Every structure is written in structure tokens, then in C-alpha cells.
């Protein structure tokens, strides 16, 4: 536990010791604002809610989260520091958890910094703040799922660009899996219940359920177990590379 | 303290390390020699638990590296090849991180870091990001990280690679100073290093252990071990060469370079026996015009080439 914390602190500090953290946060905030006000038509809707804000989060995460996740393992492999890290008295699980939690915390910080929009909407009207809190929780959970996928893929390669592209594609498939674009591909040859299973993996479906203000246990379990599975695979991948 | 039994590592069809069996005890400094790609680093990676062996076992302080990785990693200080470090951290932040992972807190942590910093003399660059440091300083930060917890087993992969002669000397002195109560393995392809710090040498070629013994025994393998180098006036070189060839214990006499009217001869003994007394007496009795007479201990380079290119 303490080892996980030590690694968590080092990783989190590493984000802020390079321009990466600041660039990410600025771009995240700028894009979130742009989507909300221009594309989402925040003012035109005339409604006191943040639907226009949260609606675009999956798409923001789609390319911003893989950018955070790509360096997690690929960079260590490239610079060779992974050899240093894995020969310290820590377990692979502790390293995987420490890295993931640091990245997730970092994304959480970026997400928290969108608070002015919450203040704005409260200033302009009387929104249902319960829905907004639920949406923030849902958005944070979804970002964790994106991150876990990205971390897992980052462990497979020492090339950060490959890690980014693969993670973005896999995240895109998860995002779209409820839509015909993906489902049509499976419908011809997979049995009905498997097609339904694929459709059930859709981030969009689970996320939009939460943004309606209902934190359904099933949605939390979905994101939570997806994170758990990805991190487990991450541990396995790192251990397999020892034996390779 | 380190015990390898038939350690083998295969990468696909390539056998990088092929059945190495080796023991290193407390107080020993083992020089791990071999050409590039011989399997030195791979062996070290298996001892430190970064790679798992395809077959065979590695034990550190009695613990199986594969079965009890945390126990062995606690007892090992490791400088990986090229001394990889987190470049964006300062030396201080980095060493604090290592100290925390090693389980030190508060005063004990500060004491450990200060001691390591002191030993490798990096106090004046501690606040700089590691990536801005020179190669020598980086290597020393890597070394500080390895010795921070005063480990029983120290594994250093090319610790002096890329350092200038002063820095090399410093690192070697540091290693010698710590040798008493540790088992130390250093890999190198610099042969003078073996002479300078090692109590034992192991030579590995194509993944196989081809020599294991003292540096002296390694030198004794040399063709020129105990040979006598003679420098004399060129005019009589041929006569002396023939004269010396007649001595019973001499295998043959090789003519070397000629310079400024002087010739160099190398008298090679039979079976590496010591012949210097015999030769100098012979030379004096005959009244040969010898300017210089020197015993060669044997060239490690020759042995190295012999051992690693054979077969």
C-alpha cells in the first residue's frame, strides 16, 4: 500500500515537472469550453443544466486520455527506467496501481478545474446540482476506463505514438459499440446475445445514463470492472514481458 | 550470497545465456567479463529479477529470485546498463523516491540519502534535473541509488562506462571500499578494471562461462605470461635471438619492432614458467648489449580474445 502511494506521488509529480500537465489542462479546458459554448450552444439552449458540457466529454477523452496514458509504460521502456523500477522491492501490481491512480488523479484535477462552468450555470439559473454531481462522477469514472485501456496498451509497446493510436482506436470502439457502425460488423456472424453484449459495452450508453442524474449501480459496476480487468491485464502484460 | 545454477535464457531461437553456474560469496568482487552481446547484462537482469530465466535458478542470500522476488530485491543494489534514471526529477527528488521505496522515512531517509550523496560526491548537483547532468554525474546518481540501502549484494552493469580516468578511479575506489562485507558483481569489457578492483574474474562468451578464477590465473592463461621482453642494439639482435633460442626453458623468441637503432625481442617460456633469472644470467654471461629487460605478466587482452573467440 505504501509502495503504491510512493509510486503514485512520484508519477503525479512527474506530470507537473514537465509542460505536459499544463498543456493538457489548458487544452482540456479550452476544448471543453469551446464544445460547450459553440458546438453545444450552451446559451442558446436556454436551459439551466450542463448537458451541453458533459455531452462532449466522451469525445474529448477519446483523444486526450490516450495522450496521458501513452507515456505510462512506453516511456519507461524507451528510457530503460522500467528496469530500475521493476528491480526495486515493489510488486508489479503496486506499480500498475500507482501509475494508474496518478494518471487518474491528474485527469481528475483537470476535470475539477472546469468548476467555473458550474458556478456560471448556478449564477444564471437554478440547475439540478444533483444531476451535475452525478455527471461529474460519471465523467470521472469514464475517464478512468479510458485510462485503464490506454495504460494497458502502453505496456505493450515502447513506442508512444503506437500506444496513442492503438489506445484511441480501442477507446473509439468502446465508445461506439452501441451504434450500428460497430454492431453491423458483428451482426452477421455473432449470436444475438453476444451482439447484445457488445452493445452493452458502449461507454456512450452508460455515460448518458449517468448524466441523466441516475447513478445506477450497474453503470458503476460496468466502469469499475472494466478498469479492474484492464489493470489486471496490465499486470499480466508487464509480467509476461519479464519472461519473454 | 549469489548462487546461479544452470541459468539459461532464450530469446526465441537465440540462446543469450547458456547454463551458467556460479557462486559469489561475501567479500568477493566478481568481474564479469565478455565481449558485447555475450550475455553479461542478460545474466545480471535475471539475478536482479528483471527477466525470468528460461531454465535454471538464481538465488540471492538464499532466496529464489523467481519465487521470492521482493526478498531478493530488498537485498540487491542494482545499477542497470547505461544507468537509466528519471531525467525530469532532480537528484534529490530521485534519491528520496528510491529511499521511500526502500522503506526509509523521516530522519533515517535523510541520513541514508546524505550518506549515499556523500559517498559518490554529487552534493553540488543535487538540485539539478538529472537530464541536465553530465554522463559522469548521471552514472554517479545511478550508483548512489544502488548503494543507498547498503545492500548485501551489489550488481553494477558497466559502472565505469563512459567515465573519464579520474571518475573511473573514484568509482573503483568506492567499490573496493565497500567490498569487505558485500558480494559485488561488476560487468565490464575494460580489462584493466579486473586488475584494479576484482578479486575474481568470470569470462563469458556466447552465453557460456569459459573462465572462472582469480585475475592472476586469468593472466597466467596468456601466451606471454612470464615472457621476458628485451631491448638491445639492433646490430646484434639476430645473434642474441639465436643465442636465446638455444636456452632449454625457452619456447621461442619473437622479434618485435625496431626503432632508433634498438630492437625488441620477446622471449616466450615453455609452459609459462618463470625464466627471468635464467635469461638475465645468460645475457650477462654472454655480454649481450641489453638496454632493458622486463617481465611481462601476460596480456589480459590476449587471454580475453583467446577465450571469447575460441570455438
pLDDT bracket for residue A209 (50, 70, 90): confident
Same domain (yes/no): B157, B69: yes
For residue B274, give the CATH number of its domain: 3.30.70
Partnered with residue B266 across adjacent β-strands are B229, B254
What pLDDT score does B310 carry? 67
Same domain (yes/no): B24, B104: yes
Domain containing B277 equals 228-295
Range among A14-18, A70-74, B190-194 rated most confident: A70-74
Please state, in angstroms and rounded to a whole number, the distance separating the CA atoms of residues A222 and A230.
12
Sign for the CA dihedral angle at B38, B42, B43, B44 comes to positive
pLDDT bracket for residue B224 (50, 70, 90): confident
Contact between A183 and A198 under an 8 Å Cβ cutoff? The reply is yes
Q: Do B84 and A84 touch (CB under 8 A)?
A: yes
Same domain (yes/no): B113, B196: yes
What pLDDT score does B241 carry? 81
Same domain (yes/no): B181, B84: yes
Asked if residue B286 belongs to a domain, the reply is yes
Angle, nearest 10°, between helix axes A57-69 and A160-176?
150
pLDDT in tens, A142-180: 999 999 999 999 999 889 999 999 999 999 988 888 777
Asked if residue B185 belongs to a domain, the reply is yes
pLDDT at B96 over 90: yes
Same domain (yes/no): B275, B131: no
Out of A6, A18, A80, name the one closest to residue B84 (CB).
A80
Return the C-alpha cell found at B123. Answer: 552534493
Asked if residue B302 belongs to a domain, the reply is no
Asked if residue B91 belongs to a domain, the reply is yes
Please count the structural domains in chain B.
2
What pLDDT score does B60 carry? 94
What pLDDT score does B183 carry? 94
Partnered with residue B59 across adjacent β-strands are B3, B64
What pLDDT score does B279 carry? 82
pLDDT at B190 over 60: yes
Same domain (yes/no): B117, B144: yes
For residue B41, give the CATH number of its domain: 3.40.50.300
Q: What is the pTM of this model?
A: 0.87
3-class DSSP string for chain B: CEEEEEEEEEECCEEEEEEEEEEECCCCEEEEECCCCCCHHHHHHHHCCCCCCCEEEEEECCEECCCCHHHHHHHEEEECCCCCCCCCCEHHHHHHHHHHHCCCCHHHHHHHHHHHHHHHCCHHHCCCEHHHCCHHHHHHHHHHHHHCCCCCEEEEECCCCCCCHHHHHHHHHHHHHHHHHCEEEEEECCHHHHHHHCCEEEEEECCEEEEEECHHHHHHCCCCCCCEEEEEEHHHHHHHHHHHHCCCCEEEEEEEEEECCEEEEEEEEHHHCCCHHHHHHHHHHHCCCEEEEEECCCCHHHHHHHHHHCC
Contact between B240 and B287 under an 8 Å Cβ cutoff? The reply is no
Same domain (yes/no): B173, B201: yes
Q: Which one of A18, A20, A80, A83 would you mutate to disrupt binding with B, by most B Cβ within 10 Å of its Cβ?
A: A83
- A79 CB neighbours in chain B (<8 A) are 84, 87
What length does chain B have?
311
Same domain (yes/no): B166, B60: yes
pLDDT at A92 over 60: yes
Asked if residue B306 belongs to a domain, the reply is no
Average pLDDT, chain B: 88
| Residue that has been written with the C-alpha cell 559502472 in this structure | B159
What pLDDT score does B53 carry? 93
Window B:80-119, CB contacts with A under 8 Å: 80-82, 84-89, 93, 97-98, 100-103
Same domain (yes/no): B184, B270: no
Same domain (yes/no): B37, B161: yes
Q: Name the minimum distance, in Å, from the CA of B147 to any CA of chain A.
A: 12
- Asked which of A34-48, A64-78, A96-110, B149-163 is least confident by mean pLDDT, the reply is A34-48
Same domain (yes/no): B9, B149: yes
Same domain (yes/no): B232, B214: no
| Residue that has been written with the C-alpha cell 625488441 in this structure | B264
Amino acid at each position: 500500500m505504501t509502495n503504491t502511494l510512493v509510486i503514485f506521488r512520484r508519477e503525479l509529480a512527474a506530470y507537473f515537472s514537465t509542460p505536459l500537465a499544463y498543456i493538457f489542462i489548458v487544452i482540456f479546458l479550452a476544448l471543453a469550453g469551446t464544445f460547450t459554448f459553440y458546438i453545444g450552444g450552451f446559451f442558446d439552449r436556454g436551459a439551466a443544466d450542463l448537458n451541453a458540457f458533459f455531452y462532449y466529454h466522451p469525445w474529448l477523452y477519446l483523444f486526450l486520455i490516450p495522450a496521458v496514458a501513452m507515456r505510462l509504460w512506453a516511456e519507461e521502456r524507451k528510457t530503460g527506467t522500467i528496469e530500475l523500477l521493476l528491480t526495486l522491492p515493489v510488486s508489479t501490481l503496486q506499480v500498475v496501481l500507482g501509475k494508474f491512480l496518478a494518471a487518474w488523479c491528474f485527469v481528475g484535477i483537470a476535470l475539477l478545474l472546469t468548476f467555473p462552468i458550474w458556478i456560471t450555470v448556478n449564477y444564471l439559473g437554478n440547475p439540478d446540482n444533483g444531476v451535475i454531481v452525478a455527471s461529474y462522477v460519471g465523467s470521472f469514472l469514464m475517464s478512468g476506463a479510458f485510462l485503464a485501456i490506454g495504460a494497458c496498451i502502453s505496456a505493450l509497446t515502447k513506442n508512444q505514438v503506437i500506444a496513442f493510436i492503438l489506445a484511441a482506436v480501442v477507446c473509439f470502439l468502446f465508445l461506439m459499440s452501441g451504434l450500428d457502425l460497430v454492431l453491423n460488423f458483428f451482426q452477421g456472424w455473432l449470436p444475438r446475445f453476444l451482439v447484445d453484449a457488445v452493445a452493452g459495452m458502449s461507454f456512450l450508453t452508460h455515460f448518458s445514463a449517468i448524466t441523466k442524474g441516475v447513478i445506477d449501480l450497474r453503470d458503476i459496476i460496468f466502469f469499475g470492472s472494466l478498469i479492474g480487468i484492464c489493470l489486471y491485464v496490465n499486470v499480466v502484460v508487464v509480467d509476461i514481458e519479464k519472461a519473454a | 550470497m549469489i548462487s546461479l545454477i544452470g541459468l539459461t535464457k532464450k530469446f526465441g531461437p537465440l540462446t543469450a545465456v547458456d547454463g551458467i553456474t556460479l557462486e559469489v560469496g561475501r567479500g568477493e568482487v566478481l568481474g564479469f567479463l565478455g565481449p558485447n552481446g555475450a550475455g553479461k547484462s542478460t545474466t545480471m537482469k535475471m539475478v536482479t529479477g528483471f527477466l525470468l530465466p528460461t531454465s535454471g535458478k538464481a538465488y540471492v542470500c538464499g532466496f529464489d529470485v523467481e519465487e521470492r522476488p521482493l526478498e531478493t530485491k530488498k537485498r540487491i543494489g542494482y545499477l542497470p546498463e547505461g544507468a537509466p534514471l528519471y531525467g525530469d526529477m532532480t537528484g534529490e527528488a530521485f534519491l528520496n523516491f528510491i529511499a521511500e521505496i526502500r522503506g526509509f522515512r523521516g530522519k533515517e531517509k535523510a541520513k541514508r540519502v546524505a550518506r549515499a550523496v556523500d559517498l559518490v560526491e554529487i552534493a553540488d548537483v543535487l538540485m539539478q534535473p538529472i537530464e541536465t547532468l553530465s554522463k559522469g554525474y548521471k552514472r554517479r546518481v545511478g550508483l548512489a541509488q544502488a548503494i543507498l540501502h547498503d545492500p548485501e549484494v551489489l550488481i553494477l552493469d558497466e559502472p565505469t562506462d563512459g567515465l573519464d580516468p579520474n571518475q573511473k578511479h573514484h568509482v573503483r575506489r568506492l567499490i573496493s571500499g565497500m567490498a569487505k562485507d558485500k558480494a559485488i558483481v561488476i560487468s565490464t569489457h575494460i580489462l584493466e578494471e579486473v586488475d584494479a578492483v576484482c578479486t575474481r574474474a568470470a569470462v563469458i562468451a556466447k552465453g557460456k562461462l569459459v573462465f572462472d578464477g582469480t585475475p592472476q590465473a586469468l593472466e597466467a592463461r596468456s601466451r606471454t605470461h612470464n615472457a621476458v621482453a628485451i631491448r638491445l642494439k639492433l646490430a646484434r639482435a639476430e645473434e642474441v635471438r639465436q643465442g636465446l633460442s638455444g636456452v632449454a626453458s625457452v619456447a621461442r623468441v619473437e622479434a618485435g619492432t625496431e626503432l632508433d637503432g634498438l630492437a625488441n625481442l620477446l622471449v616466450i617460456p615453455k609452459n609459462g614458467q618463470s625464466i627471468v633469472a635464467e635469461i638475465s644470467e645468460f645475457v650477462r654471461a654472454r655480454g649481450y648489449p641489453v638496454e632493458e629487460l622486463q617481465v611481462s605478466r601476460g596480456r589480459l587482452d590476449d587471454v580475453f580474445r583467446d577465450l571469447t573467440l575460441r570455438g
